[in-house]
Structure 1
């Protein structure tokens, strides 16, 4: 089996999480400067077997698309051109940032560590991936 890679896209930073080869465990991989995201994904998929990209789908409380959806769609269009062989699925990402922050509190991270936005993005990507794995 190949890995599943989850992407919590942001205009500045993007959190990335990945499964093991058996698609059982979701782990935070890294946070990447969004300008370097496509080159990072091309390099990663050249060395690791990835069968699916999960991309967070931010929605408002009334289920309409959030403002960042325009940027995410542009990214998806580019991703489809650059790495067309890997399927893309969208996953509702409402509340993942809040849940990530709560996870950091629950795990005992100090206030200074909880202000690390890159870590929040990585944990958010992991939560997106975990929710997908649970739903399978």
Structure 2
């Protein structure tokens, strides 16, 4: 089987998580500079088979699109153009950053380690991917 890759898209940094080949476990992969995201994905998909991109969908509490959705739409168009054979699925990402921070606290990370925004983005991508796997 192929992997599923999740993306927590951000203006500066983007968190990335992937499944194992059996699509059972979601694991944080890395955080990349958003400007380098498409080249990173191209390189990754040349080494690993990716069946699906799961991209976080930021929403307001009333279920309408968040302001940051405007930034994600151009990325999605580029993603679909560069990877026409890999479908894109959107997952509600409300509260993933808060849940990621709480995960860091629960796992015993020290206060200065919890300030690592790249780690928060990676954990957020993992939570997005876990959410998708649970919904399957």
Class of the TM-score when normalised by the shorter of the 2 chains: over 0.9
Question: How many pairs were matched up?
Answer: 136
Who is 1:88 aligned against?
88
SS of alignment partner, residue 67 of structure 1: coil
- Partner residue of 2:106? 106
- RMSD over aligned Cα, in angstroms? 0.4
Could you tell me which residue of structure 2 aligns to residue 60 of structure 1? 60
Trace 1:16-27 onto structure 2 (pairs within 5 A).
16-27=16-27
SS across alignment from 1:14: strand
Q: TM-score, normalised by structure 1?
A: 0.99
**CA distance in structure 2 between the aligned counterparts of 1:119 and 1:47, rounded to whole angstroms:** 24
Q: Residue in 2 aligned with 1:131?
A: 131
1:85-111 per-position Cα deviation (integer Å, ceiling 9, x unaligned): 101000000000000000000000000
Match of 1:34 in 2: 34
Once the two structures are superposed, residues 88-136 of structure 1 have per-residue CA deviations (whole angstroms, 9 ceiling, x without a partner) of 0000000000000000000000000000000000000000000111111
Q: What CA distance in whole angstroms lies between the structure 1 residues aligned with 2:44 and 2:36?
A: 12
Q: Quick one: distance in 2 between partners of 1:83 and 1:65?
A: 24
CA distance in 2 between counterparts of 1:80 and 1:90 reads 13
Counterpart of 1:76? 76
TM-score (norm: length of structure 2): 0.99
Give, in whole Å, the separation in 2 of the partners of 1:98 and 1:56.
14
Which structure 1 segments of 5+ residues have no match? none
Q: Which runs of 4+ in 1 moved over 2 A?
A: none
